[in-house]
A and B are shown apart, each in its own frame.
Chain A
Amino acid sequence: MSITGFLTDSTLCIGCKACEVACKEWNGVEADGYDWSGYSYDNTGAVGASTWRHVKFVEQTPVPGFGGNAGELASWTFSSDVCKHCENAGCLEACPTGSIVRTEFGGVYIQPDICNGCGYCVSSCPFGVVERNQKDGRAFKCTFCYDRQKVGLQPACAKACPTESIKFGELDQLRLRAQERLEELHSRGMEDATLYDPLDSSVGGTHAIFILRGDPRTFNLPPSPDVPTIYLKKSWTSSAIAGALLLGGTLLAFWAENKNGRRRNAR
């Protein structure tokens, strides 16, 4: 079974939000409210329990004579965010019920029939992707269309994407394509194009990687995400030291008491 991934290329994204709708239609996810944000054309805010794909809109001041594909400057950029399906997934490591599993395609999948809504995964996600829903408190996020992948279909978002900004395929292949694409963009004058693929961070790389222009933080992507469990060793060590110190102190106290006692006894 091959390991699959998403390559989301924001230089091809036209901000149409077909991915958001195709995802919700396929997965039966309900709308999450009719609130107008007043922030560009983004009214769904962020990835969450009821938005598994989310298109972020970043506005800058455009200059006449230059469109968004002009190498010199980016002016209105869009990027479709999604669960990263981390190599070292905080949610999966934190899940105490065995609800969250890794599928044969490498995706991180929450089994809704197992999840008990404890919420440990929510605080363990370095990207703020996992969220509990309002109704019953269970945690939801992108399933990587595990049901579709099982029969060889691509995820609904990638299939719908009109400009093939969202690419789905074997992760290794996508990484190669991403490098080629990056070189091409640089040669076209888009010096600020980068690949977001945090291989060197503690999440150990993601199965959803992104080509972006500019600082990834603009797109809510932390430059160096950390899986919370890396703090475990540190906290275990400090606990051990604290424990040892406590033990040492206690022993010392007993030892001193003993010594005094002996002295007293000796007196």
Chain B
Amino acid sequence: MPGLGTSFGRGGATTAQQDLANADAILIMGSSMAENHPVGFQWVMEAREKGAKIIHVDPRYTRTSASADIWVPLRAGSDIIFLGALVHYVLENNKQFHEYVLHYTNAPTILREDFRDTEDLDGFFSGWDAGKKKYDPETWLYQGSPEKEVAGSAPGHSEAGGGHGKDRGGEAQDTGKFESDPTLQHPRCVFQVLKRHFSRYTPEMVERYCGVKADVFLKVAKTFTSASGPDKTAAICYAVGWTQHSKGVQVIRTAAILQLLLGNIGRPGGGILALRGHASIQGSTDIPTLYDILPGYLPMPFFETARNLGAYLKKNTSRTGLWSAFEKYFVSLMKAYYGDAATKESDWGFNWLPRVTGDHSHFGYWLDMADGKLDGLFVMGQNPAVGASNGRLERTALSKLKWLVVRDMVETETASFWYDSPEVNRGELSPETIGTEVFLFPAAGTAEKEGTFTNTQRLLQYREKAIDPPGDARSETWFMYHLGRRLKEKGKDDSRPRNEGLRALTWNYSTEGKHAEPVGEEILKEINGYSLPDRKQLAHIKDLKKDGSTACGAWIYCGVFPKEGYNRALERNPKDALGHNWGYAWPNDCRIIYNRASARPDGQPWSERKKLVWWDENKKQWTGNDIPDYDKETPPYAPENIQNGKGVEALGGAKPFTLHPDGVGWLFVSSGLKDGPLPTHFEPLESVTDNGLYKQQSNPPADKKVRPDNPYAEPSGDPRFPYVLTTYRLTEHHTAGGMSRQLSHLSELQPELFTEVSPELASELGLQNGHYATIITARSEIEAKVLVTSRMRPMQINGKVVHQVGLPYHWGYRGQVTGDVVNDLLVISEEPNVRIMETKALTCNVVPGRRARGKEFLGQLNSRTGQTA
């Protein structure tokens, strides 16, 4: 989400699914929306039926392509070239929405003289440290910005960690003294830098490296750009087809730049809709079970930079914009966590929070687990034994644990790895030699517990409980509450510093029913926040205080439970198309965020057709069809005072991107990203071709985690692995199958693992439809039935024929239907900002027939890969 977060300010979809119906064109890329979000896709169909053009760019012709007007087959992993060429097309043909770009983006901002672009340094920005393999981003700052004064740390970049902490839109740089050129002519202004940066992203490059004919590209460019402007808007939908790359954040950044240039953010029918794949994937970063952030995208304290509360607050508090109130959000969270013990004298409990000292993400700690450095692991509602990259390593690492707790509705492959994993079946591991103690707890289903999911459009929807879960099945709320109760009991008389936080932790939730289930709404009320000491629910983020007189578990959710008995997430009376009064969207129930941009700087709509919120001079307030994502009473003519002012007030009345200290959308991200201020094409970590745009082959700071049990193919053109491999989901199953392969009515619809290949590749390799093939990567090999289809097609890449091989990844070794684990083929790799793995573009080989069984498996794999892993 730093892709969206750094560009606009918030790490969430900018619009609502229903609003797609208002679009004049929709680009779906990095997503097969009809397959994976079929019910959301009805809004795309509605737009289509109203005349909008639907464009689907995808390596495969999918069920989404089948409903689109234009399908563009693209080589997997070349997205930035394609999107960069769209940006280039806009700039080259003057298609940008000039007034919007001038007033609502940082296009006029002038950059420092010592900034160097990838154009100048052949794939690197200035500041690259080859030894540390990371950027010092100081030269990316605006001209005039003071350097940061945090000891031992470059601005925006901590020693360790991912990028979730930057979701809020970069570090808190003081942008007070920057210079800008409203004529957009200054050679170092962002607009001109952008023009130069994208100059080589031409239709010819698209043809050569994406495999898309120039005329097809131009058809897309014309269709999309002509559907944007004052009285038209175009939307973009994406999913993990964009994110699961070694440069995933930058793919999304390219889309953000395109939408900012075309003036499509904050307006009806526009926006970028991130399509998330789990019921509350948005919620689980808003209220994170992640290592580097606290609820509401407050960064976790990093050991190197957050030596004390003062340094932490200084680093994260900006002078202008909404992050100027950082201290209110943080102190209120500490009050929610530690209650009365959180005082000014105790630094609000800041020193009870664990420090981040390295890569504590899934892959980061998993490799430590593989090396025997971890005792225990909790897995709740996830199935890494088949769902995560390099499954052989994932499962083997589980056998190094002392104890493992799995909570799920069924016995997953993660819980059963010790007796029925492929490694056990092949004789590489056996139960007698695995010392891991395993606890498998039955979990409640959604109908058996109450609680909120936050959906793909930032909408909190509360579920009522229908029935009790069966037997000893319980909710995670129950499990955590009763585990916490026991642990607090163990620490209650122990006064060592380590237990201060645990003892202070507020944990007195009421319970109900025969299972002593914690009351769900009580937790939501804490998340919403309340005043102290009288415990009145808070109605608005503005009510938060930094003096300890408010508690709030997630400031961005403040308002969801604004008064006793009023749970807005449970509202079910929609009064308009955007769904107000059905659920609660963060922030402040805005359904389309940054919607101040739907009006001109003077406060009136850009056009009657595309009006959303506007200034009502008579009532002296913002009004319209959505809740204004702006201070309701700040008039459009309120002057800005970003140079010297403080708080969000300093932004004045015409800066829609209020989380950014300069109040505008960022075409150029001067702070907050680890791999550059502008998107640049790099090849996947495993590719069939050289990078035709720059000498640098792959994203420089990507973390490859190379080790003997996580080997790679050669970066380019490895003769052992001549084909592009891409993985994906099918409508009929869900992720790694834990919620679908056990169900008969879904299993019968897609009962077996298959691989999709073109007729040309099938004939070249002697593959027959319905027969088996074995797919091989540097990590493993698996077998799958062959589906020969012209929906897959070979393409010409830089003069060579390139074949792509498709594999849906839903199967595993348990359930009504079983199959080989596709994720065994993938490599553990980390994109530098969020540490996501590359699953959409790798290299592989394919041979007809089945894989070897038993002890012969490794021998065959090694002979085919030429390694001894």
Contacts and interface: CB of A to CB of B under 8 A. Distances in A.
Interface string A27-65: 000111111101011011000000000000001111011
Contact of B70 (A18, A36, A65, A76): A65
Nearest to B770: A38
Nearest to B51: A188
Interface stretch (B519-527, B682-690, B739-747): B739-747
Interface string B778-821: 00000001010111010000000000000000000000110000
Nearest to A68: B66
Interface stretch (A9-17, A112-120, A239-247): A9-17
Nearest to B816: A34
Contacts, number: 134
A69 B67 contact: yes
Given A14-B67, A69-B67, 9 more contacts: A17-B749, A20-B745, A34-B816, A38-B787, A64-B213, A68-B67, A78-B66, A162-B42, A163-B42
B751 A68 contact: no
Nearest to A38: B770
Contacts of A25: 745
Interface string B188-214: 000000000000000000000000110
Contact of B751 (A35, A67, A78): A35
B790 A61 contact: yes
B368 interface: no
Contacts of A62: 61, 65, 71, 790-791
Contacts of B817: 34
A59 B790 contact: yes
Nearest to A35: B751
Contacts of A14: 34-35, 38, 41, 45, 63-64, 66-67
A170 interface: no
A31 B747 contact: yes
Residue of A21, A35, A76, A78 contacting most chain B CB atoms (<10 Å):
A76
A66 B54 CA distance: 10
A64 B212 contact: yes
Given A64-B71, A163-B41, A36 B34 contact: no
B754 interface: yes
A70 interface: yes
A60 B751 CA distance: 23
Contact of A64 (B38, B63, B216, B750): B216
A143 B336 CA distance: 55
Interface string B721-759: 000000000111000000000001111111110100000
B173 to A, nearest CB: 44
A44 B71 CA distance: 28
23 contacts: A16-B34, A16-B731, A32-B748, A34-B752, A34-B817, A38-B754, A38-B785, A43-B751, A44-B748, A62-B71, A62-B790, A64-B71, A64-B73, A64-B212, A64-B213, A65-B215, A67-B69, A68-B68, A69-B68, A70-B69, A75-B65, A75-B66, A77-B66
A34 B745 CA distance: 10
A192 interface: no
B769 interface: yes
Interface residues of B, number: 51
Nearest to A24: B745
B568 interface: no
Q: Which 4 A-B pairs have the closest CB atoms?
A: A67-B68, A38-B770, A68-B66, A34-B751
Interface string B31-69: 000110011011001001000001110000101111111
Contacts of A67: 54-56, 65-71
Contacts of A191: none
Contact of A21 (B55, B745, B752): B745
A126 to B, nearest CB: 27
Interface string A186-207: 0000000000000000000000
A40 B748 contact: no
B750 A41 contact: yes
B792 to A, nearest CB: 10
A35 B34 CA distance: 24
A76 B789 CA distance: 11
A87 interface: no
B110 interface: no
Nearest to A12: B45
Contacts of A15: 34, 63, 66, 731
Contacts of B695: none
A93 interface: no
Contact of B789 (A32, A43, A59, A66): A59
B219 interface: yes
A68 B63 CA distance: 9
A20 B732 CA distance: 11
Contacts of A59: 789-791
Given A36-B752, A67-B69, A67-B70, A16 B216 contact: no
Nearest to B45: A163
B752 to A, nearest CB: 4
Contact of B65 (A20, A68, A164): A68
Contacts of A76: 61, 63, 65-66, 791
B748 A43 contact: yes
B38 A18 contact: yes
Contacts of A38: 754, 769-770, 785, 787
